[in-house]
């Protein structure tokens, strides 16, 4: 029984490790849902005034979505790899397909939070009702009093209307909520189709088998973790060495003393080495052997950024 439980836990660990991007996107979506709910409760307050309603309603949907999109672009490592690539090497070695894949990866990941925000806002309907209530044609409402116009319709989201207009307010609210939720469900459907087509296109155009692609993903994840961990230890030991040289001693705890003794650091990596392992990387092969990252390419001593007669570059961006 214990072995079965351990095996199940091991399976779940491997599953979630292989689905880290999906889980991250799910957490981003859940966080966005919670933020939107909190915003609707404590911050959303329709002005119920002609002209202002439309601007406020669109801003309540669009501005947070734009902010979330920009945050997603900033947090994406591909963004800064692209900046480093353009700064150090330019884009002359990128084909149109590689450029499209790179921007698609950046924009796709950054769009998770803003799309979630927009969908939840549309399904709730408050912002849509606020924005468009004043544009409802009075003639479309059965027996709507002629003395009331757009100014009165603009006050419908606030429920501050004469008693004889309560029925019309309910009709307008119901109609606009229906339209808002319809657009929300359509947006969900469009996004789902796009995600499905993108996944199909990715696997159809990939030069790698499914198993090799999974191995590449595992390699990049492990390389990144080991690189970050080693860089943290290296920088700590180097800092301790420099502090000791300045003061004549360095105050280290037990763990740090063990690190200094176990991993002696003699120097630092020159800038050309850092530049060689920094930037956008597209899967390539050299003499039939795969190179899974810029660090792997540097370790193998492969020079240059573009394809060579003995090297074959495959235009498949790391996800």
Residue 313's DSSP bridge partners are: 284
Token duo for residue 72: 């997603």
**What is the rounded radius of gyration, in angstroms, for the C-alpha atoms of the chain?**
28
Q: Check: CB of residue 292 under 8 Å from CB of residue 183.
A: no
Which residue, of 153, 187, 205, is where some domain finishes?
205
The fraction of the chain above a pLDDT of 70, given in percent, is 78
Residue 313 belongs to some domain of the structure: no
Q: 194 and 50 in one domain?
A: yes
The fraction of the chain above a pLDDT of 90, given in percent, is 29
Three-state secondary-structure class, residue 83: helix
Q: What is the four-CA torsion angle of 140, 145, 151, 156, rounded to 10 degrees? A: -70
The reported pTM is 0.70
| pLDDT at residue 185 tops 80 | yes
pLDDT, tens digit, 9 for 90 and up, residues 39-90: 555 567 888 888 899 999 999 899 989 999 999 999 888 888 778 777 776 6
**Quick one: which of 141, 138, 130, 140 has its CA closest to 176?**
130
Residue 24 belongs to some domain of the structure: no
Residue 318 belongs to some domain of the structure: no
Residue 314 belongs to some domain of the structure: no
Domain count, the chain: 2
Q: 291 and 155 in one domain?
A: no
Residue 10 belongs to some domain of the structure: no
Alpha-carbon gap, residue 109 to 69, rounded angstroms: 9
Q: Following DSSP, what letter does each residue of 132-195 receive, concatenated? A: HGGGS-GGGSTT--TT--HHHHHTGGGT---GGGHHHHHHHHHHHHHHHHHHHHHHHHHHHHHH
- Averaged pLDDT for residues 136-148: 77
Q: 99 and 240 in one domain?
A: no
Q: 193 and 58 in one domain?
A: yes
- Averaged pLDDT for residues 248-269: 89
- Averaged pLDDT for residues 212-230: 92
Which residue, of 183, 205, 227, is where some domain finishes?
205
- Helices H / strands E in the chain, number of each: 13, 3
Q: 189 and 50 in one domain?
A: yes
Residue span of the structural domain in which 220 resides: 210-265+272-300
- Strands annotated E in the chain: 282-286, 289-291, 311-317
Q: Give Dmax over CA atoms of the chain in angstroms.
A: 92
Q: Check: CB of residue 276 under 8 Å from CB of residue 311.
A: no
Q: 172 and 51 in one domain?
A: yes
At residue 312, the pLDDT reads 40
Residue 315 belongs to some domain of the structure: no
Q: DSSP character for 163? A: G
Q: 217 and 191 in one domain?
A: no
- Averaged pLDDT for residues 118-130: 91
pLDDT, tens digit, 9 for 90 and up, residues 95-112: 666 677 778 888 888 998
Q: DSSP character for 144? A: -
Residue 22 belongs to some domain of the structure: no
Q: DSSP character for 202? A: H
Token duo for residue 249: 């001693």
Residues sharing a CB contact under 8 Å with residue 208, sequence separation 6 or more, in sequence order: 216, 283, 314, 316
| pLDDT at residue 35 tops 80 | no
Alpha-carbon gap, residue 153 to 132, rounded angstroms: 9
């Amino acid at each position: 029984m214990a072995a079965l439980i351990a095996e199940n836990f091991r399976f779940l660990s491997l599953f979630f490790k292989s689905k880290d991007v999906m889980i991250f996107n799910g957490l981003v979506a859940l966080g966005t849902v919670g933020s939107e709910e909190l915003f609707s409760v404590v911050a959303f307050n329709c002005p119920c005034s002609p002209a202002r309603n439309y601007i406020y309603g669109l801003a309540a949907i669009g501005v947070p979505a734009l902010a979330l999109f920009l945050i997603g672009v900033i947090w994406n490592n591909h963004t800064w790899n692209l900046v480093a690539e353009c700064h150090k090497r330019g884009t002359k070695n990128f084909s149109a397909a590689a450029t499209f894949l790179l921007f698609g990866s950046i924009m796709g990941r950054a769009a998770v939070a803003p799309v979630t925000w927009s969908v939840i806002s549309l399904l709730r309907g408050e912002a849509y009702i606020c924005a468009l209530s004043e544009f409802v044609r009075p003639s479309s409402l059965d027996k709507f009093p002629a003395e009331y116009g757009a100014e009165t319709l603009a006050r419908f989201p606030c429920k501050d209307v004469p008693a004889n207009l309560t029925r019309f307010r309910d009709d307008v609210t119901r109609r606009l909520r229906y339209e808002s939720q319809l657009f929300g469900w359509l947006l969900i459907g469009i996004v789902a189709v796009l995600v499905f087509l993108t996944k199909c296109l990715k696997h159809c155009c990939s030069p790698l088998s499914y198993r090799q692609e999974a191995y590449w993903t595992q390699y990049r994840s492990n390389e990144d973790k080991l690189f970050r961990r080693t860089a943290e230890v290296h920088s700590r030991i180097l800092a301790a060495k420099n502090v000791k040289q300045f003061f004549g001693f360095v105050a280290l705890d037990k763990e740090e003393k063990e690190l200094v003794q176990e991993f002696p650091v003699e120097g630092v990596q020159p800038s050309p080495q850092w530049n060689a392992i920094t930037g956008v990387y597209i899967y390539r092969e050299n003499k039939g052997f795969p190179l899974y990252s810029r660090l792997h390419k540097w370790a193998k001593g492969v020079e240059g950024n573009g394809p060579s007669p003995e090297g074959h570059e495959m235009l498949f961006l790391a996800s």
